[in-house]
A and B are shown apart, each in its own frame.
Chain A
Amino acid sequence: MGAKLQRGEGSADGCCAVSLYGISKTFGSVRANKNISLDIPAGTIHGIIGENGSGKSTLVSILYGFYGADGGRIRIFGNDLKIQSTAHAIAAGIGMVHQHFMLVPSFTVLENLVLGHEGSGGLLQGMARGRSELQGLSREYGLDVDPDAVVADLPVGIQQRVEILKALYRGARILILDEPTGVLTPQETDQLFNILRALNQQQGVTILFITHKLREIMALTHGVSIMRDGEMVAHRCTATTNPQELAELMVGRPVLLDGIWHQAKVGKVVLQVNNLALDGTRGMPLVRDLSFQVRAGEILGVAGVSGNGQSELLELLAGIGAPSRGSITLGEYTFTKTNPITPLVIKELGVAHVPEDRHAMGLVLPFSAAESAILGHEHSPIIGDGPWLNPGKLKAHCGQLMANFHIRPPDPKRQSRLFSGGNQQKMVLAREMSTNPTILLVGQPTRGVDIGAIEFIHQQLIALRDRGCAIIMVSVELDEILSLSDRIMVMSDGASMGIIERKDADARSIGLLMTGVD
């Protein structure tokens, strides 16, 4: 009921929950936000879409008081506000659900809820007040959670619900969600959208939804603003736009959204995994008893919610760490715990590896592009004789890779960290594909990569497959799995939930397997 009143106050001044005028923010020499203006009508769900590095996270961080803007004004429900800290933002009725949850895992839901709002006097009083308010909120908003459950034991989707409750508990009338679906299964995403719609329609909460996924914008929002290179390039009403137009606005040129997959010519088995298992510290199984085969000329997609053993599987196959049990057979060689595979051995057997984390593993960020372009290949004779590295040959080698993969800017001397995510990823792919591998292990091929580069990378993967390479692709992007894979293995809690042929796979069936339900 209070909600309606607050909305009334807002509507006295043009109905805008949030108005931004000329917001600018510079980090060093990088202009993250350039003169951004934005009006979000009260009581709507508004999306902000843009590629990685387009400045959308910076913008909401300014709105939530993490950074001060260099210039510009912020109006909340018609009132000019100086938001200098998150406390100001919360007082103004803004709540935020972060991409990475800000919960204390060992606390209960209730303890997390009252954290920072324990009230004066005894803790028991505060907790009791929190409990009754939590029950009220749960009833009012239809957000069911057990107040006494320990957060660490809850599924990710429920943890996110706790985050939303936390924001509402602090009186949020404007809810910001920053890339909220990255960690969710398709089913959990649907549930989240239902909750958000209910909050919006029944309680009048204004929702600001940040994402890089076109599908989510189309499914959820009323209006959408598109950012590119730190600038607000367009505003659209969701009902009158389409994914193609949004993609073009995001990238700044026409893009191909349709599938590029075609039937594979599958050869003989090149990789055989038998009963592979890995125990973590304290005996927690990370990978459980995996057995599968991969054939030349096919892409095996490994799907699953992040953190269900896919990363560990990829590293085991790449020879980073030894398995606890089971074996990996490459051609005529079999590797086990006592005879583990190593990164050097896989290279000799024609296996290339594009790691999930290109910043920590795939590149050495302070190195020049030319130096990063030989990581793991520094003994190659094409870059020098004997123990020497020849800078001229290094540069020429890198220049060749850059030309083949259209890496921008094509400057081998430029520091690896200064390239955009897409160009960094292309560099790793170019390096690993340059050896013409018989097996390619690739993790998150397009994480944090702009649409233009995604298109290019997908084409390269399919082309490599067509040349007879077996590809094992781990990705948390279900769309990517579905559009590229010939077969799909779904992992949940370290175990395989089954391998599905492409023709039998859809988001729903895979989503169900991802949750561990057979």
Chain B
Amino acid sequence: MERTLPPWVDMGLLPLINVLVVFVVTGIFIAIIGENPFSALTVMLKGAFIDKGALGYTLFYATNFIFTGLAVAVAFHAMLFNIGGEGQAMMGGLGLTMTALVLDPILPPFLVVLLAIPMATLMGALWGVIPGWLQAKRGSHVLITTIMFNFIASSIIVWLLAGPLIEPGQMSPQTRSFADGVQLAQLHTIFNTIGFSLPSSPLNVSFTLALGASFGVWLLLWRTRLGYIIRASGHSKRAALYAGYSPTGTIVITMAISGALAGLMALNEVLGVQERLTLNFTAGYGFTGIAVALMGRNHPVGILLASLLFGALYQGGAELDFQFQSITREIVLIVQGFIVLFSGALAHMFRPMLEKVFATAKPSHKDVSHDK
């Protein structure tokens, strides 16, 4: 009783239809609150891609989503629901901040950066591994524990920023700035030095790291023995048992990779823009990563596209806020909700319809497994 669609329909058309539905429903929503959905769409696209510097901002936001989306996706391939990207990113930010604060008086800036990056991944990984280990050994589900670990991470940061790490003599909960040069170069400055003129934006080297991480995740999952074990364990617990994979090992390693990816998100915000640790720098990107992974069907290419869409929503949503009186930034949250609804919960709503279309289009299509 198998149901199959051509891969391009399954991987391309179906998600596209889901996204279109999101836009149509959002459009109806905007019409209900008394604005013209088409002009809203125009304003948003212009604000996200065409205005001077807009694309840079869109890609800057997308960078956050790529990291957190990949984090969710890697865990999902092992059937682990890592909802803790937010906390893992916070701990990543804490790891790199501590490294920078301790080392920037004594080491040259590029060395500090080189050491801070692995610390961000390590701390993110640690915040993934603990819930993973608890699930493997104690049976407490990562879905629950990673959420709880978000709260723990948040409390730790609040405590540190309100006390031990607060910038001396200041009232706002943030650390001192890192030493000059302890940062990831912004792309427009790099391009300007080699003679291309780019408008100013916070887009920085983290974006290229994110592209690299996407390729790395693809390699890991589909081109390595470890990735094979992760995916096999995710698809079938019994098959993993049969093949002799250690459930504890698989869970812990997968959560480490997942947490590390989420931890890398801190590079973009902390080392790319703020150059200090601030409260709430994660701003919900960790949670949005779930929607990104859902929409990207847990594949790096899909996640890149979904991240671009979410980046555009964040950047264009700000523009909407400016231009329309009755639309606020929160429209982005609504769109996000619809994406979870239509690309996640109802992802297969149109599948039967498409199956009918493609079954009637090819009436001679038979189940070839019976062919002699």
Contact = CB atoms under 8 A, between A and B. Distances in A.
Interface residues of B, number: 34
Contacts of A374: 228
B371 interface: yes
A252 B372 CA distance: 10
Contacts of A27: 1, 3
Interface stretch (A199-207, A215-223, A292-300, A365-373): A365-373
Interface string A367-401: 10001001110110000100111010000000000
B228 A30 contact: no
Contact of B239 (A363, A388, A419, A423): A363
A33 B348 CA distance: 26
A347 B228 contact: no
Interface in B355-372: 355, 358-359, 362, 365-372
Interface size class on chain A is 35 or more
Interface stretch (A158-166, A175-183, A353-361, A504-512): A353-361
A376 B225 CA distance: 11
Interface in B229-252: 229, 231-232, 235-236, 238-239, 241-244
Contacts of B242: 318, 320, 343, 353, 355, 361-362, 375-376
A423 B367 CA distance: 13
Nearest to B235: A364
B225 A378 contact: yes
A343 B243 contact: yes
Interface in A52-74: 53
Interface string B232-276: 100110110111100000000000000000000000000000000
Contact of B241 (A53, A320, A365): A320
Contact of A418 (B222, B225, B229, B369): B369
A108 interface: no
Nearest to A228: B370
B52 interface: no
Nearest to B229: A378
Nearest to A28: B3
A323 to B, nearest CB: 16
B369 A419 contact: yes
25 contacts: A27-B3, A28-B2, A28-B355, A28-B359, A29-B359, A29-B367, A320-B242, A343-B243, A353-B242, A355-B242, A357-B238, A367-B235, A371-B232, A374-B228, A378-B225, A378-B243, A387-B224, A387-B226, A388-B224, A389-B223, A409-B368, A415-B4, A418-B2, A418-B369, A420-B370
Interface of B: 1-4, 222-229, 231-232, 235-236, 238-239, 241-244, 355, 358-359, 362, 365-372
Given A229-B370, A420-B369, 16 more contacts: A30-B1, A30-B367, A31-B367, A342-B244, A343-B242, A353-B242, A361-B239, A371-B228, A378-B225, A378-B243, A388-B225, A389-B222, A408-B369, A408-B371, A417-B2, A419-B369
